[in-house]
Structure 1
Amino acid sequence: MAVDSLWHHQFRIVMLGDSTVGKSSLLKRYAEGVFLDSMDQTVGVDFYVHFVEIEPNLRIKLQFWDTAGQERFRSVTRSYYRNSAGGVLVFDLTNRASFENIKNWHQDVIDTVKPQPVVFLLIGHKSDLEAERKVGQKEAEKLANSLSAKYIETSAKSNRNVKEAFQTLTLGIYESLKSGKMWPDEHWDGIKSKRPLITQPEVPAQGKTNKCWC
């Protein structure tokens, strides 16, 4: 049986952030276990696939769209937003401007017509360059909270928290799927499922408690 057929759910995830923050390095480290000191800037969109088992006998296929950070490619990359279940917002801990632009990347996705919500994760990358840090952890956590996202600091070079970051996002999407906040739809490619789910219905508004991935 082909490896590609051995999955129960498929999640599409889009990588977002300024050019040179290390989106491609993160994905290459996670999906291929490789770190390259020098990588060409992404032109348009690159594609990665990774399989992960988040529970015994529950295999998830992750499809990653690695988008270019340059403004001239924005019209191309926007077309991938609406078919994504997850969004990874990446900034460079040594580059203040890349952090300040995160809200713009987040809003760009929110403003794109989408049939379903997106589960976001905020990543502060290049944590191995601690001496050059320009963004504090508490400040980044505050931003993540305002975006209803979890926050984690990573380094593709040292492999710090790379697996943990993508596992956090994968579990977030899966919980949204189980709770009924997200669902497979033949007209939407963000989530595909081969295994039926017994979803937990949403609690009525008057009795609902707020829950966010922050």
Structure 2
Amino acid sequence: MTQKEKTTKPLLKMLLIGNSQVGKSCLLKMFCDHEFSFDVISTVGVDFRNMERDFDGETVKVQIWDTAGQEKFRTITSNYYRNAQGVAVVYDVTNEESFNQVNVWFEEIKKNSPEYISTVLLGNKVDLEDERVITKEQGENLAKKNNCQYFEVSAKSGANVDSAFNKLMNSSYEKLKKFGKPKNSNTVNFQKGKEKKSCC
């Protein structure tokens, strides 16, 4: 395959956002590598994974961006909303503060993204049922408030991870077909993002 053929594939870009330590990197690792590791290091700035997916017979390049949740990286992170078709907002069901910050993250989406962007809300760490402080109903209500679908997931067990990512991916592709790629979407600044190995 030539370099030109590679660059002409449609680009589908999705983001993972949420507070630090909610498990965004572990969710991405589970989706891409089908494995969980306690040794995943907190993201500094932005990392991303690449894959290719077929949608209706069309091969699409998919980039999933794993963003840092710390306040000091918010300005950097905001730059990466611009060319995205989909965003997953993640919180930790055992951490009330991460849940309380969900609306702040949705405000960031509204401020930095087109109105048609696809979103899902993910309540992670449901394997820690004895430590849960946020109920499923609370998560569903918050998702409804923000007009998106809700998934309870576990980066450790893999529960619902594929379903959540595939839902967002399919919805994002529909938006890409309907609205086209954002301006300059083929121009990706890799200097601020560290590329992890491609998803299989």
Q: The residue matched to 1:35 in structure 2 has which SS?
A: coil
Larger radius of gyration: 1
Taking only the aligned residue pairs, the percentage that are identical comes to: 37
For 1:138, give the aligned amino acid: E
Aligned to 1:89: 89
Deviations 1:111-131 (A, max 9, x none): 12x455311010000111111
For residues 37-186 of structure 1, the aligned pairs below 5 Å read 37-55=38-56, 57-112=57-112, 114-115=113-114, 117-178=116-177, 180=178, 182-185=179-182
Q: Name the CA distance, whole Å, in 1 between partners of 2:2 and 2:150.
A: 35
Q: Distance in 2 between matches of 1:90 and 1:143?
A: 12
Output the CA distance in 2 between the equivalents of 1:7 and 1:162.
29
TM-score (norm: length of structure 1) = 0.79
Give the number of equivalent residue pairs. Answer: 186
Cα deviation for residue 99 of structure 1 reads 0.8
Shift of 1:7: 8.8
The offset of 1:75, in angstroms, is: 1.0
Give the 3-state SS of the residue equivalent to 1:81 in structure 2: coil
What secondary structure, in the 3-state scheme, does the structure 2 residue paired with 1:20 have? coil
Over the aligned positions, Cα root-mean-square deviation in angstroms equals 2.4
1:83 match: secondary structure: coil
Which segments of 5 or more consecutive residues in structure 2 lack a partner in the other structure? 187-200
3-state SS, counterpart of residue 46 of structure 1: strand
Cα deviations by residue, 1:73-118 (Å, 9 ceiling, x for unpaired): 1111111111211111000011111011000011012112x45531
* Structure 1 equivalent of residue 197 of structure 2: none
Identify the residue that residue 20 of structure 2 maps to in structure 1: 19
Q: Secondary structure at the match of 1:121?
A: strand
> What is the TM-score when the length of structure 2 is the normalising length?
0.84
CA–CA distance in 1 between the matches of 2:123 and 2:109?
A: 19
